[in-house]
Structure formats: structure tokens, C-alpha cells
Amino acid sequence: MPWLTRPLDYIPKRVVSLNPSITEFLFVIGAGDRLVGRDVFSYRPRDALKAPHVASFTHADLEALRRLRPDLIVAYYPVQRDILEPLADIAPVAVVETPTSVDHVVANFKFVARILDLDEQGEYAAGVYRDLFEGAPVAEDALAIFNLGGYDFACAESFTASALDAVGIKYSRALHCVYHFAGDIASAARILESVDPDLAIYEGKSKEFREGEIAWIKASRCRACREGRILATPNDTLAHYGPSLPLDLAKVREALARGDKFVGGTSSIVRPSLSSGWYRSYLF
């Protein structure tokens, strides 16, 4: 569960978010004007880009961050555990763990909203988020593969699996973990073949579909590989658990229904602004 590095006796007004999913949530609940700094991957909604970026996903420019005079920093654990202590020297840190389910995401959202004294807005947005995960069964025994420079698999205990299950894309239960880093193609192919999914969902390194990136999947020995049931998504689609996730998964369902090879129009491609129709479901 999320926690604070030290108690707060005030309502934070100058927030630095180093968690892209929480950054997006801040805007959805009306706290976007409190964002004074962000990590480089916090581009949802597009409005967040107005705040300076002071961190990558695992490294922070501590001096630049200090100059922003934050009264709260939101960190992503365990990814940012190595910088947690220096961050806590600058301001109290809301430590948000990698969620393992949709319910866990909702709990993270409510935790952050409570800190900001926006409980009602947080409850509403979290409820909408949960309700947007819907859909009749469209696929079974799916497996998601991420290309992060090395290959990573979402396991049965990940929020990715939970979210796909919730929209009718039943997830494989073969890997009992949260995420499993395979590394190179040879190792990834061995895992893929051992799981033998009926649907392979591949999240690439870019916003565009590159046929060559999935050649190793096609060449592997699995049901999805043989039958061509391989769906590619743009980078940072299934890896993001913010308010855009259920909206993006609706695009995944549509692509499956059409028999597409690539999911277009996701938030990582469009990068919608808060005032665009993309977020209308969350309007309080």
C-alpha cells in the first residue's frame, strides 16, 4: 500500500510527480494547477508538459527539483527506490507502489486525493475509472510482452492482467509473478513458448508499428505465433495505469474485433489535452 515518508500537517500546493499515472490523475481531479514539476514520461494530459521535467524514470536532477520548492513529491516504488532517500530530504514523499490490480490502482488514486484534500473528486474519478473497465469476452489466454530495451512479460498478478481481464481479454495464468524480465530475444522466446498463449499482445518501443519487431514472435512456437494472433500496441499503452488505461483498452478491444495488427489512436499517440473529448467521462 502507498505511504508518506513523513506526516503532513498542511494541504500540498506545490507537487512534483515522478509517477506518470498519478500525474494524469492529478489533472483529472482538478489538481493540475498544483503540479510544479514532473518526470519526462508525464505527458498525459498534454497540459502536464507546461511543468518542467526534473527526472527520468529512475534518476532525478535533485538541484533542479529543490529549486522548485515542492511541498510534496510523488514517487513510483520500487522503480525509484534508489532515489527515495534524497527525494525525502527535499520534501515529504508520497510513495506509490506498482499496483497489482485495478483495485490496487483505485486505492492509490484515493490515497493521493486524500493527501490533497480532494477526497470527493478522487472518489468520483476512481469510480469512473473502475466502471470504464467493461466488455464481453473477446479473447482468452492472452499474454502481454513489453519491449523496454529488453523484453518484459506481464504476469498473472500484474495490473496489466487485471485490467485486460476486466475488459474481456482473459489473461494467461501461466506466469505467477507481477512482471518477469526476460532480457534478450532468446530468453523471451523460451518464455513465450512455455506459456503458449492464444493471443500475444506486444508493446513496442515507439508510437509506430514496426513489423520487424514482432518477427521473433512469429518465428516462435506457440498458438498465437502459428495462427498470427499477435496484436501490437504503441509504447506506453499497457504500461500506463492512469485514467487513460481503460480508454486505451477500449481501443485494444476495437482493434481485436476488426482483426487489426496494430492499435491506433491511443493516448500515447494522441497525447490529448484535458479539455479534449478524451477525458469527458471523468468530468466532475
pLDDT digits (tens, 9 = 90+) for 140-188: 999 999 998 899 999 999 999 999 999 999 999 999 999 999 999 999 9
Residue 200: pLDDT band by 50, 70, 90 thresholds?
very high
Residue 1: pLDDT band by 50, 70, 90 thresholds?
confident
Percent of all residues in the chain with a pLDDT value above 70, rounded to a whole number: 100
- In the DSSP assignment, the letter for residue 49 is G
Contacts of 128 (CB under 8 A, 6+ apart): 281, 282
Instruction: Identify the CA nearest to 201 among candidates 158, 139, 265, 244.
Output: 139
Q: What is the pLDDT of residues 17-52, one digit of tens each?
A: 999 999 999 999 999 999 999 999 999 999 999 999
Instruction: Identify the CA nearest to 208 among candidates 241, 180, 233, 245.
Output: 233
Integer Cα distance of 112 and 280 in angstroms: 21
The Cα diameter of the chain in Å comes to 59
* 201-232 core/surface letters (b: 16 or more CB in 10 A; e: else): bbbbeebebeeeebebbeebebebbeeebbbb
Looking at residue 181, its amino acid is F
Find cell 505465433 and name the residue. 225
Residue ranges in 6-139 assigned as alpha helix (H): 20-28, 62-67, 84-90, 102-115, 119-132
Find cell 490496487 and name the residue. 104
For CA atoms 243, 248, 249, 254, give the dihedral sign: positive
Task: Please check the confidence at residue 3 and state whether its pLDDT lies above 90.
Answer: yes
- pLDDT for residue 34: 98
Q: What share of the chain is helix, strand, coil (3-state, %, to 5)?
A: 40, 20, 40
Instruction: Identify the CA nearest to 234 among candidates 211, 278, 266.
Output: 266
Residue 141 contacts residue 134 (beta carbons within 8 Å): no
Residue 81: pLDDT band by 50, 70, 90 thresholds?
very high
Superfamily of domain 3-131: Nitrogenase molybdenum iron protein domain (3.40.50.1980)
- pLDDT for residue 283: 86
Q: Where in the chain is the domain with CATH 3.40.50.1980?
A: 3-131, 139-270
State which H helix or E strand residue 258 sits in: helix 245-258
Looking at residue 70, its amino acid is P
Residue 21 contacts residue 35 (beta carbons within 8 Å): no
On whether the pTM is more than 0.95, the answer is yes
Integer Cα distance of 137 and 127 in angstroms: 22
Residue 41 contacts residue 237 (beta carbons within 8 Å): no
Find cell 496494430 and name the residue. 262
Residue 100 contacts residue 108 (beta carbons within 8 Å): no
- pLDDT for residue 57: 85
Task: Please check the confidence at residue 284 and state whether its pLDDT lies above 90.
Answer: no
Fold that domain 139-270 belongs to in CATH: Rossmann fold (3.40.50)
Integer Cα distance of 38 and 159 in angstroms: 23
